[in-house]
Structure 1
């Protein structure tokens, strides 16, 4: 009998999580939107997370990997995995180590800037598709929430 009660309680908990978990829903939205941007950017040999990093380094660079990770809430392994192809393709360059011998700032190369210019229409198409999926209220809500996120310090 106890097992049946525990099973029912577990089902209630998982049902609640399935219906109302903010993390589950935001990750679902993220996967759908990533697929939209990936589809548009695919002809340029870059995916959505990589494109985002290229844009951020263009805006913030030269910037260290650690600062880039903090600014965009990336874990080190995820950041490294997404930066490596950008460096290998010659779209980003790592500078010489600084005085401490460790920090090698990232910067966008001429090839990276050309890619951004060439892929801008694809990004615009993906942006329009994403806005259509979310609706203007949904898109505005996401932008407002993102604006209020705390800056990651560690």
Structure 2
């Protein structure tokens, strides 16, 4: 029964993939969550911390912990929003941008390995299916509240 459980199967693959990325990114000092976070901050300058968590589907504790690591490393700058002093926003620093660029070839290598192993069309189909699954999850969550 458990072998057909969507959650168990996705957790297993997700955990393995996270371990692979973290292992390969180790020389950069970043974990995959931090790499992904830097990428989102780069593409959305002055993003609020809460919006970043929503985009990444991460709880506030995980967002704060990783942002503190990135901030302490000088990769991001956290400040109060100009329009609302109750809101904190985050921007990537030049050092953070350099770190993102250092890690991107490693990330691309993993992406290419995955695409190469299952084929570009099947990879794109996988992404479509994962998106469809996320929409189902969102619908179920909305209908149960």
Class of the TM-score when normalised by the shorter of the 2 chains: 0.7 to 0.9
Query: Please, which runs of 5 or more residues in structure 2 have no aligned partner?
Result: none
More divergent stretch after superposition (31-40 vs 84-93): 31-40
2:90 to 106, 113, 121: 106
Cα RMSD, aligned residues only: 2.3
Measured after TM superposition, the shift of residue 49 of structure 1 is: 0.8
Within the candidate set 7, 10, 21, 2:5 is matched to 21
Could you tell me the TM-score, scaled by structure 2's length? 0.81
Cα distance per residue 1:85-132 (max 9 Å; x no partner): 111101111023545432121000000111111222111112223334
Match of 2:107 in 1: 123
More strand by share: 2
Higher relative contact order (CA 8 A, sep 6+): 1
Partners of 2:42 and 2:107 in 1: CA distance: 16
Q: In 2 relative to 1, CA 139–36 (structure 1 residues): closer, same or farther, beyond 3 Å?
A: farther
Matches of 2:36 and 2:124 in 1, distance apart? Answer: 19
- CA distance in 2 between counterparts of 1:89 and 1:138 reads 38
CA distance in 1, matches of 2:89, 2:35: 18
Normalising by structure 1, report the TM-score.
0.77
How many residues are aligned here? 136
Q: Distance in 1 between matches of 2:129 and 2:60?
A: 24
Question: 1:59: which partner in 2?
Answer: 43
**Per-residue displacement from partner, 1:29-88 (whole Å, max 9, x unpaired)?**
111111221122110100111100110111112101111111121111121122221111
Cα distance between partner residues in 1 of 2:130 and 2:42: 20
Matched residue, 1:140? 124
Structure 1: where are the runs of 5+ without partners?
1-15
CA distance in 1, matches of 2:116, 2:9: 18
Larger Rg: 1
Tell me the equivalent position of 2:73: 89
